[in-house]
Each structure stands twice: as structure tokens, then as C-alpha cells.
């Protein structure tokens, strides 16, 4: 695919997708979301990609939200199609068998917050800002905000953000568990890539099983979730990396993983 609204790069097993509409503060229109879907699918299906980073171009915004200029004259049918495209894309990111890290550099409002919520880990710059301001223009979140946000920060805090339409700082986002780490703006991408490189060096199948167990066990009963965990853990014993990991541990040396 010929990407016009994102930059898609792969280096040392790490794919980076950069939202690249800086004049629009990287706002998401249908074309950008479609490009994100295609790039994310390519990452999922590529054996050379071990981890994925999402970030924004410039120093002002990760994604400042959906592109209101495109949405203004949508019919309900048009809007549903746009929301479904977003859900398909973010669910792919959320469930792909590889870790996805958001490097949130500036505004992550509305759809920007929702994109970050679909990622496994969220790192933010000190100047980042989060919020679900859709209520202020007569809407509600449409790309998973009403569902993922309460699961991550709790019902009360999610309702405060969604019903009130306000914004919070990176520090507040860290305090309530919305982001994992906060870095100075100049260090954000380097620290994110350092963490991604750490994940790339780990056994890929074990990472896949860990993510699968967390994602699909979360809303199950404890008995069902722990059964899923046991089955995922047991599957790791079928890999050469598991054998190498335990052997290296007993021999007190660094393991040499081969990805299978």
C-alpha cells in the first residue's frame, strides 16, 4: 500500500507507525485509519516484526482526535461505517500476537486516547494530554473509549472524563494508571525503542501466549481465566526457546533464543 498519512518503518525487528498529518495535529480521517489497518495487518503477518510502536509526527500531537472536518456532514450510516473501521483496526492492534507500545507525544484526545487504549503499553511525554471530549460536540466516544477506558482506569474515573469532556495531563494519566511511564519529550521515543528492543529479545511465542491469556482471560470468571492461563503456559513447553531458557537458567548463562 502507498502510505500518504502515516510513516511505516521496520528496523531491528521493531516496526514504527508514525501518524503523519502534523498540520491537522495528526487527526484521524478514514484514509489514515485505513492505512493504519493495513500497516498493522502487515506487522501481524510479518515474521520480521517482533514489536510495534505507534507515535505521532511533530512534538504537538500523538493523535488530536478524529478529523471533525470530515465528520461534520456524515449521516448516521456514514458515521457507523467510520466507527466500524476504527473498531476493526483497534481490535487488530489489541489482539495481534505481538506487543504494541504507544509513544504518546503531545495531544491524545478523543480518538487519540482510544488508539492508545488498544495498545499493550503506553509511554507518554511530559507534555502529553489525554481526554474524551466528544460530549462537547454532541457525541460520545466511538472507537472503544466507553469500553476500554473503564477497564483500564475504573468506572468512576472513566465517567468523569467521558461525561465531563475534560482533559488530563500526562502526570495525572500516570497517577490513575492510564499510562505506564512519563518521560521528557526528547527522551520519549528513545526510551520506547529501548523497551521495544527488550521485548524483541524475549521468546516471541511466550509473549504471544502472555498477551493472549491476559486479553481473553480478563472478562472470564477466575476459574475460566486460570484454565486459559494454564493451557497457554503449557503450550510454551512445545517451543525450543522454552528449553533453551530453562537450560540457560540452570547453567547460569544468557539464553540464545531463536524465535521458535
- Identify the bridge partners of residue 14 per DSSP, sorted by sequence position: 11, 51
Whole-number average pLDDT of the chain = 97
How many domains, the chain? Answer: 2
Residue 1 has a pLDDT of 82
Residue 46 shares a structural domain with residue 155:
yes
Pair 29, 19: CB distance under 8 Å: no
User: Active site includes 114?
Assistant: yes
Q: In angstroms, what CA-CA distances link 100 with 82, 97, 229?
A: 23, 9, 21
Residue 259 lies in a domain: no
Residue 258 lies in a domain: no
User: Active site includes 229?
Assistant: no
Residue 218 shares a structural domain with residue 127:
no
Chain segment 157-204, per-residue pLDDT in tens: 999 999 999 999 999 999 999 999 999 999 999 999 999 999 999 999
Of 126, 134, 191, 251, the catalytic one is: 134
Domain range for 219 is 204-250
Chain segment 117-163, per-residue pLDDT in tens: 999 999 999 999 999 999 999 999 999 999 999 999 999 999 999 99
Q: H-helix or E-strand containing 100?
A: strand 100-104
Chain segment 61-95, per-residue pLDDT in tens: 999 999 999 999 999 999 999 999 999 999 999 99
- CATH code: domain of residue 246: 1.10.12.10
Pair 108, 143: CB distance under 8 Å: no
Residue 159 lies in a domain: yes
pLDDT value at 10 more than 90: yes
* Interatomic CA distance for residues 62 and 103, integer angstroms: 8
Of 114, 175, 240, 251, the catalytic one is: 114
Amino acid at each position: 500500500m502507498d502510505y500518504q498519512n502515516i510513516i511505516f518503518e521496520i528496523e531491528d525487528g521493531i516496526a514504527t507507525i508514525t501518524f503523519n498529518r502534523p498540520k491537522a495535529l495528526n487527526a484521524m480521517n478514514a484514509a489514515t485509519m485505513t492505512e493504519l489497518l493495513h500497516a498493522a495487518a502487515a506487522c501481524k503477518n510479518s515474521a520480521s516484526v517482533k514489536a510495534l510502536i505507534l507515535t505521532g509526527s511533530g512534538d504537538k500531537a500523538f493523535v488530536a482526535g478524529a478529523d471533525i472536518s470530515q465528520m461534520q456532514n456524515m449521516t448516521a450510516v456514514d458515521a457507523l461505517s467510520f466507527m466500524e473501521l476504527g473498531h476493526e483496526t483497534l481490535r487488530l492492534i489489541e489482539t495481534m500476537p505481538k506487543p504494541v507500545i504507544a509513544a504518546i507525544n503531545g495531544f491524545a484526545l478523543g480518538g487519540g486516547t482510544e488508539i492508545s487504549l488498544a495498545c499493550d503499553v503506553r509511554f507518554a511525554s511530559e507534555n502529553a494530554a489525554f481526554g474524551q471530549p466528544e460530549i462537547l460536540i454532541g457525541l460520545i466516544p466511538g472507537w472503544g473509549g466507553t469500553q476500554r477506558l473503564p477497564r483500564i482506569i475504573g468506572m468512576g474515573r472513566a465517567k468523569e472524563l467521558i461525561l465531563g469532556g475534560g482533559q488530563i495531563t500526562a502526570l495525572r494519566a500516570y497517577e490513575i494508571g492510564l499510562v505506564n511511564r512519563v518521560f521528557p519529550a526528547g527522551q520519549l521515543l528513545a526510551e520506547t525503542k529501548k523497551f521495544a528492543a527488550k521485548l524483541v529479545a524475549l521468546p516471541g511465542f511466550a509473549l504471544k501466549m502472555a498477551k493472549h491469556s491476559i486479553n481473553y482471560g480478563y472478562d472470564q470468571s477466575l476459574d475460566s481465566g486460570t484454565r486459559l492461563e494454564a493451557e497457554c503456559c503449557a503450550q510454551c513447553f512445545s517451543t525450543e526457546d522454552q528449553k533453551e531458557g530453562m537450560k540457560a537458567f540452570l547453567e547460569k548463562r544468557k539464553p540464545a533464543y531463536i524465535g521458535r
